[in-house]
């Protein structure tokens, strides 16, 4: 199993994970731990068994070979129309990057474009190697204070900036995605740090759009199952963020970033 890919979900007909209609693969394992994570089953790099409310045993994580996963993804090619393609998400898909490089080669030979959603908290050598394999990148920007980034989510902000610089100097199209989480990412200092960064990078031709995502509590049941298993994770009930607060944040970004589209993404 060590050379197989550990996936939790293959989601079809996705409209918000890059250009066109896409199939999104959620890889198990993440390099950070966000208290608001809406996919907590993807935090651990281990396959996890749990019992649902009916006391039936289920599993988070299924192993695929590159060939098996390619066969599944190829079935959706008819929907892509030369615009859509496959998006690799997680967790942090790059933690398994060297295992699924053969899959990326197969997709390229079949003229299927690829997109990576990443938080950029991954070893720089891995990230540099990934650049030639993906056509598009979705970059999550969460916390831009060095201490808070480390203490709240376990992220190395210096690594984030190093990888972001590599990406900005590539020719890859970039979507910026900002989770707006009350009590975690929406404070005055963090929002201004993010807006300052966006102001500096939004004029780059390869920055396609900036997306704001409102936090939610839809993953509550997943935490209930996982809290007694390997991860022993704790669920944090998220405070509701008003539409007015979200639109004010959007306006703040738009005032400073004239060259890029800003939108609120409803998932």
What pLDDT does 128 receive? 98
**Of 86-100, 122-136, 206-220, minimum mean pLDDT range:** 206-220
Q: For 118-128, what is each residue's pLDDT tens digit?
A: 999 999 999 99
Q: Which distant-in-sequence residues (6+ apart) come within 8 Å of 145 by Cβ?
A: 157, 189, 190, 193
* Helical axes 188-201 vs 243-256, angle rounded to 10°: 40
Q: How far apart are CA 176 and CA 208, in angstroms?
A: 8
Q: Give the global pTM.
A: 0.93
What are the domain boundaries of the chain?
5-265
Check pLDDT > 80 for residue 15: yes
Give the distance, in angstroms, between the CA of residue 79 and the centroid of all CA atoms in the same chain: 23
Check pLDDT > 90 for residue 237: no
Q: What would the mean pLDDT of 103-110 be, rounded to a whole number? A: 98
Q: How far apart are CA 91 and CA 94, in angstroms?
A: 9
- Residue 188: which H helix or E strand, with range? helix 188-201
What pLDDT does 149 receive? 97
Q: What is the CA radius of gyration of the chain?
A: 18
Q: For 77-97, what is each residue's pLDDT tens digit?
A: 999 998 999 999 999 999 999
- State the CB neighbour count (10 A cutoff) for residue 2: 5
Domain 5-265 has CATH 1.10.3720.10: no
pLDDT band at 229 (very low <50, low <70, confident <90, very high): low
Check pLDDT > 90 for residue 221: no
DSSP class of 187: S
């Amino acid at each position: 199993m060590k050379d197989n890919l550990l996936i939790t979900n293959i989601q079809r007909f996705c409209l918000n994970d890059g250009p066109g209609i896409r199939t999104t693969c959620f890889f198990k394992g993440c390099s950070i731990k966000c208290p608001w994570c809406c996919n907590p089953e993807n935090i651990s790099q281990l396959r996890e068994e749990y019992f649902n409310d009916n006391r039936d045993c289920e599993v988070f994580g299924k192993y695929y070979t590159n060939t098996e996963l390619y066969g599944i993804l190829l079935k959706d090619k008819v929907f892509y129309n030369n615009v859509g393609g496959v998006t690799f998400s997680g967790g942090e898909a790059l933690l398994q990057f060297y295992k699924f490089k053969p899959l990326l080669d197969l997709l390229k030979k079949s003229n299927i474009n690829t997109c990576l959603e990443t938080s950029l908290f991954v070893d720089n050598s891995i990230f540099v190697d990934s650049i030639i394999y993906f056509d598009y990148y979705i970059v999550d920007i969460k916390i831009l204070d060095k201490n808070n980034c480390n203490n709240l989510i376990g992220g190395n902000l210096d690594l984030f900036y190093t990888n972001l610089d590599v990406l900005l100097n590539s020719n890859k199209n970039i979507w910026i995605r900002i989770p707006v989480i009350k009590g975690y990412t929406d404070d005055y200092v963090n929002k201004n740090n993010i807006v300052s960064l966006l102001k500096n990078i939004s004029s780059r031709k390869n920055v396609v759009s900036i997306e704001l995502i409102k936090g939610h509590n839809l993953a509550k049941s997943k935490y209930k199952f996982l809290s007694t298993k390997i991860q022993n994770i704790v669920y944090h009930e998220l405070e509701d963020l008003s539409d007015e607060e979200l639109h004010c944040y959007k306006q703040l970004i738009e005032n400073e970033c004239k060259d890029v589209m800003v939108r609120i993404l409803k998932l």
